[in-house]
Amino acid sequence: MSAPEITTVAADRCDIGESPVWDERTGLLYWVDITPGTIHRIDPATGARQRWEFGEPVGALGLCRSEKLVVALKSTVILFDPRDGSRQLLAAVTHKKPEMRLNDGKVGPDGAFWVGSMDASGEANPAGVLYRVAADGGVSVITEGFRISNGLAWDGAGTRMYHSDSRGIWVDIYDFDPVSGAASNRRRWLELDELTGRPDGGACDIDGNYWSGGASASRLNCFSPEGKLLRWVTLPNLRPTMPCFGGPDLTTLYVPSLSTGVPAEDLAKWPLCGAMVSFASGTRGVPVGRFAD
């Protein structure tokens, strides 16, 4: 398959651009820049932008059934209304170490917010936890022992959950009940390497494939349900993170990236490092869930 045409969506350089989410109701794309603690929004049709600051790391966000967003901050999960800027505490977690923060998160088919944590000290200790945050603010610990909890995604039926440790370097799958939110029968699905790409954020398409940001390999990988590498797309933003499907028909893949820790000489060679890019995927994405607020 020929290489797709890559479009620059937002050229500004994020420290850690992450958690892109397409809002099909409004045709707007959201994402976060983790370390400065900002949420960004763009209308890809017009280029109109908006930005909100939170004064602490923002790990991830998801859409709500209302017009609000569910947002993971350093150690709390809040409901944020982009219409008036209001913020409401929903839940809090107690990290095992002071340097830890919440990281990759996504709303599941069960209407809960799934979010993991990581050690942000640079040591990447296996202290990360995967949580499920319910609409009433109840927090459940699903499993523990991750260096960087990442890669959450669900297949179209909502019965298979993907979860990675991008410093592991692996991807696990779980059997998932989209009604109760029960995740069971965890098993190792992929063992990866730096050349293929550390498994950062993930997204599923309607064909059952799993798209994984290969941050260390400057590419986006597409794996079949059986774990076979079907294709990859080399990207100009050097350190791609979480992909998401968007556009009116969910056929466009949006991919932000990070620039933190990249040497100055590489930043000079890769002017889109930290930027958001997009391309036509050739398939359709699975619609993301909405938080049951």
Residues carrying an active site annotation: 200
**Gap between the Cα atoms of 199 and 220, Å rounded:** 9
Q: Which of 176, 250, 262 is nearest to 211 (CA)?
A: 250
**Among 232, 231, 228, 243, CA closest to 277:** 243
How many Cβ atoms from other residues are within 10 Å of residue 43's Cβ? Answer: 13
> 133, 90 in Cβ contact below 8 A?
yes
Decide if 203 contacts 245 (C-beta within 8 A).
yes
Based on the number of CB atoms within 10 Å of its own CB, is 82 exposed (0-12), middle (13-18) or buried (19 or more)? middle
CA-to-CA distance for 8 and 172, rounded, in angstroms?
A: 32
Cβ-Cβ contacts under 8 Å for 253 (sequence gap 6 or more): 203, 211, 220, 243, 244, 245, 246, 278, 279, 280, 281, 285
- As a whole number of angstroms, the distance between CA 242 and CA 280 comes to 16
User: Considering all CA atoms of the chain, what is the largest pairwise distance in Å, rounded to the nearest integer?
Assistant: 49
122: left (phi over 0), alpha (psi -120 to 50) or beta: left
